[in-house]
Amino acid sequence: MRGESMATLCRPAIAVPEHVITMQQTLDLARETHAGHPQRDLVLRLIQNTGVQTRHLVQPIEETLKHPGFELRNRVYEAEAKRRVPEVVRQALAHAETDPSEIDLIVYVSCTGFMMPSLTAWLINTMGFRAETRQLPIAQLGCAAGGAAINRAHDFCVAYPEANVLIVSCEFCSLCYQPTDIGVGSLLSNGLFGDALSAAVVRGKGGTGMRLERNGSHLVPDTEDWISYAVRDTGFHFLLDKRVPGTMEMLAPVLKDLVDLHGWSVPDMDFFIVHAGGPRILDDLCHFLKLPPEMFRYSRATLTERGNIASSVVFDALARLFDDGGAAESAQGLIAGFGPGITAETAVGTWTTDDLRPSVEAGLDELELTAGVALSG
């Protein structure tokens, strides 16, 4: 779809928990815990190949490795979400120069715990959002949910051109650790995923960031069981098919098609913010889109420093672009999230700086001039 709204994805706020585990610690744990595993050496090589140097955990590693049961784990999820989400929300609102009363929709994305009512209700009740604020929790799109949240925010701003949308992502992947899952895919996941929270505002009018112009979604047929959760007495069991790393051969053309549909060309694009599920995702995008590796440097940095942080990856990578000074005015960019389905959620747009500020400043200058004339008269 393409809308004429001026929806702008503003600077995200990111937070990671204080407990850190390094790749070396991960490898040592894997060696000790699975000493007799017939494919242990393969798993160790796969973890090394991820390039993930550090990850952040919501609990100390000693607690993470225990399994007190799904009920207690979900209590930790709810308590830690309520403890940590408000600060990233406040930062995101400040970045976008908005306050809670100006937010018309809250999109909350998370696939690592469950709450009903959603955390959106708690946020509205405790942080000064209006009782009329719409709520859109997204729980089952996994890592693709970051892109989906951006796209649904864009759609909302097309429908309501001056609306503002708050997106919140809360992913505590470590709370899904299952000590009895010893398949190669599960053991690799134990060395790949990290915990993080993020928030960002999509402004219907004004704002500095990526002006969203077109979005799309694509489901790769007959891949439903490639990434999934088995829901059992012990909670969520993450299932990862060995074919998943090769999905960019199918999805790279989808990204190109969206860019082409918008009248642009992939080689002429200025920035790419994509979900970094693993290093091969980024390597294959370079290959199939014929792009140099530096075009995915922000996603690569997220993967290296924080691991796969699920739906928060695209916001963390975008925050790194902001930290780097942003992009040039009207620079062309693409955001893409990949996840279960196999689903791709994609968006294209141009970089923009706040177009409200000049008019405000001009108004102040005019006011000062008028006051000066009046005084001199």
Q: Which of 10, 111, 143, 170 is the catalytic position?
A: 143
Tokens 């007495």 belong to which residue?
233
The CA distances from residue 179 to 16, 74, 76, in Å, are 24, 17, 18
Phi, psi for 87 (deg, rounded to 5): -65, -40
pLDDT value at residue 358:
43
- Per-residue pLDDT tens over the stretch 173-202: 999 999 888 888 888 888 889 999 999 999
pLDDT recorded at residue 188: 85
Kind plus residue range of the DSSP H or E element containing 14: strand 13-15
- Please count the other Cβ atoms lying within 10 Å of the Cβ belonging to residue 183: 13
Confidence tier at 152 by pLDDT (50, 70, 90): very high
Task: Say whether pLDDT at 242 is over 50.
Answer: yes
Q: Which pair of structure tokens corresponds to residue 79?
A: 């308590």
Confidence of residue 5 (pLDDT cuts 50, 70, 90): low
How much is the pLDDT for 373?
43
Closest CA to 172 of 80, 282, 95: 80
Task: For residue 52, name the pLDDT band (cuts at 50, 70, 90).
Answer: very high
Report the distance separating Cα 44 and Cα 39, nearest Å. 9
Q: What is the mean pLDDT of residues 68-97?
A: 97
Helix (H) or strand (E) holding 168: strand 164-172
Tokens coding 345? 């959620």
Averaged pLDDT score across all residues of the chain: 91
Helix (H) or strand (E) holding 167: strand 164-172
d(CA 90, CA 208): 17
For the chain, which domains are there? 8-207 (3.40.47.10), 210-352 (3.40.47.10)
Torsion angle of C-alpha atoms 287, 288, 291, 293, degrees rounded to 10: -40
Which is nearest to 274 in space by CA: 210, 349, 209, 337? 337
pLDDT one-digit tens code per residue, 295-312: 999 999 999 999 999 999
Model confidence pLDDT, tens digit, residues 330-352: 999 999 999 999 999 999 999 99
Q: What is the pLDDT of residue 359?
A: 42
- The mean per-residue pLDDT over the stretch 124-145 comes to 96
Question: Cα–Cα distance between 172 and 118 in angstroms, integer?
Answer: 16
| Buried-exposed string 240-271: b where 16+ CB fall within 10 A, e elsewhere | beeebbebbeebbebbbebbeebebebeebeb
Strand duo 164-172 + 195-203: pairing: antiparallel
- The answer for residues whose C-beta is within 8 angstroms of residue 230's C-beta and 6 or more apart is 236, 237, 239
Q: Establish whether 143 is a catalytic residue.
A: yes
Six-digit token pair at 46?
């796969």
* 176 touches 112 (CB < 8 A): yes
